[in-house]
Amino acid sequence: MRFKVAGVNLNRAQSPVEKLAVAIVHEPTRASPPHAGAREEALRFLLQTAGDAGVTLIATQPGGDGERLLGQAWPFPSPFQVSVRTVSIADGVDRVEARARRSLERLGLPRGDVLLASSACDLAGAEGRALWDRMVALKERGLFKRIGFCATMEDGPALLARRFQPDVVQLPCNLLDQRAHRTGVLDELAALDVEIHASSVFADGVLFMSGDILPAEMAGQAHQLSRIRRRLAEARVDPMQATLAYTLNLPQVTAVVASVASAAELRAMLAAAHAPAPALDWEALQLEQPAVLTTAGARNRISSAA
């Protein structure tokens, strides 16, 4: 249920899981069985686990074979709403529209819940308005209920939201990078009646990495990360529990998008989400230079797509 207080939409979920959205990772290196049949069965089990737990939103991306695999694995009847992301505008708006339609076909769905422009840079460019008009047209034709865009803090998400008036904005927000919250961007977006999907909630896993395996861009943050892990350990709080508690308890956030690769990962996440919110000094647990996470995350996503 949503309430509007002083111009700000707040989400009052009865359960933390009502805010939890799942982005399923199809990488073989993350617990995927080696054989195709076993992978399909594992994906069905993951989706069934999510549905049984009350998760209602699945976030997808157009790259790779993930959409087709999901389309073959949905439980029937499906309890899920699905968000779809566009491809780059580099090949033109016709290609973007065609690929969005193709995403629904691959997912086996007559319509999607949300269509997100995958990069705020596409909207800020010369063809940004043309791209947005195509997305509006897809919404008006009933192919998607809502439209929006993905952005980083560097993109100026509140300014873009005022320009395009989206239904949804997805942006990184996590324990290590609290800028969206601390700078008031979440409040600005909520005041515009925009639903906020928090992404990168685990900061690409850097909180769980030791210093010797951190991405090169994060090497300078190793000491701070060690200090944050030590503070959590002293408080007897698991890092996953802490980062989920931080994002799930932000009242402006409508959905917390977390990636999982298996039912076992999802069960661990659900257990952490249901744990009582710890009493922590959240502000003391953020990085002093959180913008480095944007660079490191972009590099990791490019490497994964290569």
Angle (CA) 82 88 90, round 5° = 160
User: For residues 118 and 115, what is the distance between their CA atoms, to the nearest angstrom?
Assistant: 9
**Residue 206: predicted pLDDT:** 81
283 lies in some domain? yes
With CA atoms as reference, report the closest residue to 166 among 180, 181, 150, 153.
150
95 lies in some domain? no
123 lies in some domain? no
149 lies in some domain? no
109 lies in some domain? no
Range of the structural domain that residue 14 is part of? 2-85+154-305
Q: Which residues pair with 258 in a beta bridge?
A: 22
Number of domains in the chain: 1
**Residue 27: predicted pLDDT:** 64
91 lies in some domain? no
**Residue 56: predicted pLDDT:** 94
18 lies in some domain? yes
Alpha helices, H only, the chain: 36-53, 66-73, 93-107, 120-124, 128-140, 157-164, 179-182, 185-191, 222-234, 239-248, 263-274, 291-305
| Other beta carbons less than 10 A from residue 288's beta carbon | 7
CB burial readout 179-202, b (16+ within 10 A) else e: bbbeeebbbbbbbbebbbbbbbbb
89-95 contact pairs (CB < 8 A, 24+): 89/119, 89/122, 89/125, 89/127, 89/131, 92/127, 93/127, 93/130, 93/131, 93/134
With CA atoms as reference, report the closest residue to 101 among 133, 58, 67, 152.
67
User: For residues 197 and 168, what is the distance between their CA atoms, to the nearest angstrom?
Assistant: 7
86: left (phi over 0), alpha (psi -120 to 50) or beta: beta
**Residue 30: predicted pLDDT:** 56
| Other beta carbons less than 10 A from residue 88's beta carbon | 15
193 lies in some domain? yes
Mean pLDDT by 10 residues, the chain (306 residues): 40 69 77 67 94 95 91 91 96 96 96 97 95 98 98 96 97 95 97 97 83 74 88 93 95 95 94 91 91 64 35
Q: What is the CATH number of the domain that holds 164?
A: 3.20.20.100
